[in-house]
Structure 1
Amino acid sequence: MRKTIALALICLATPLAAKDSLGVFSDWGAFRDPSVPRCYAIAVATDSKAKREFDPFASVGTWPRRQLRGQVHFRLSRQIADKAAVTLILGRKSFRLTGGGADAWAQDRTMDAAILAGMRSTPRMTIRSTDRSGRRFTDTYSLAGAASAIDAATLGCARLK
């Protein structure tokens, strides 16, 4: 219930960033902003009792003008330490992400595609890293509805140029 409320708050808090809601699919939402143009699927991390500097979220974006589709982005719950590894775990597979500050991405389009495939075949994903104070932290996401939201976002930008 709290996750649904958090997703609804993201939907309400981003009217300038997301002009059109493409739908809410379980724990994920999909949005389109034709003025950029861009479309994306987004979800907030599951609740945690651990200290957070930021409200973590995961997104998968499409930017037709940049010819980018299926690009993953993670806002982490804390700023990562310099040179700290950021690891995404999807089932039995893990991926070493790149990034800085409180953001992480796939290293390239091939990794984006592998992450998207993993998101479609497992119920949750987890990101682990070390913050600037040297403490380990974990952000976990439900993937319920992720595939539908990603597909809605991709289709939402299919005709935008």
Structure 2
Amino acid sequence: MLLIATMAPVGSARAADSLGVFDGWAAFRDARAGRCYAIAEPERGTAGGQARAYASVGTWPERGARSQLFVRLSRPQADKSRVYLSIGERRFALVAGPGRAWAQDARMDAAIVSAMRSAETMSIEGTGGNGRPFYDLYVLKGAATAIDAAALACPAR
């Protein structure tokens, strides 16, 4: 959990306000950036990951964005390779950029968050730049509460 607390600013050196820690997930409000988010690190993954992986579900009221998934991968994926998110029996093909991935649209975001609420784990899978498969496994205990805390902290305007 200490690692989650140190990741809180997600790409920024600014301080974010902690909204709470809920098992393996935490929620934060970053008033300066106008966003709130739930975040977790993977429970385990492919050994030798090059980046500090995390999954987050964020809300940006001023942009009209609610419950958007963003994943930083543990390693850069191979060019033109697909990145998949699996939750229970559901499998989602994500949009991928260098070392990161996200849902294709708001409908997929909603389906992902809904699936997260009723599953125990989710995994991110892809092919690394070295041609080897990689995966990151996230335990979802506490995810729904963290997502709700973030959404309540950044209400729609």
TM-score by length of 1: 0.91
1:126 and 2:123 aligned: yes
Matched with 1:109 is 106
Residue pair 1:91, 1:124 contacting (<8 A) in 2 also: yes
Matched with 1:135 is 132
Mapped to 2, the partners of 1:72 and 1:12 lie a distance apart of: 16
Name the % identity. 48
Distance 1:100 1:18, change over 3 A: same
Mapped to 1, the partners of 2:109 and 2:53 lie a distance apart of: 19
Matched with 1:82 is 79
Matched with 1:92 is 89
Residue pair 2:85, 2:94 contacting (<8 A) in 1 also: yes
Residue pair 2:82, 2:96 contacting (<8 A) in 1 also: no
Distance 1:106 1:153, change over 3 A: same
Offset of 1:5 from its aligned partner?
3.0
2:4 to 4, 7, 15: 7
Q: String of CA shifts for 1:83-105, please: whole Å, max 9, x gaps.
A: 11111000011000001110000
Matched with 2:22 is 25
RMSD, aligned CA: 1.9
Offset of 1:14 from its aligned partner?
8.0
Offset of 1:30 from its aligned partner?
0.3
Letter of the 2:130 counterpart = S
Residue pair 2:44, 2:138 contacting (<8 A) in 1 also: no
Matched with 2:31 is 34
Mapped to 2, the partners of 1:154 and 1:72 lie a distance apart of: 13
Residue pair 1:98, 1:104 contacting (<8 A) in 2 also: yes
Residue pair 1:18, 1:32 contacting (<8 A) in 2 also: no
Q: List alignment gaps of at least 5 residues for structure 2.
A: none
Q: How many residues align?
A: 157
Mapped to 1, the partners of 2:10 and 2:96 lie a distance apart of: 25
3-state SS of the aligned residue for 1:119? Answer: helix
Distance 1:139 1:25, change over 3 A: same
TM-score by length of 2: 0.93
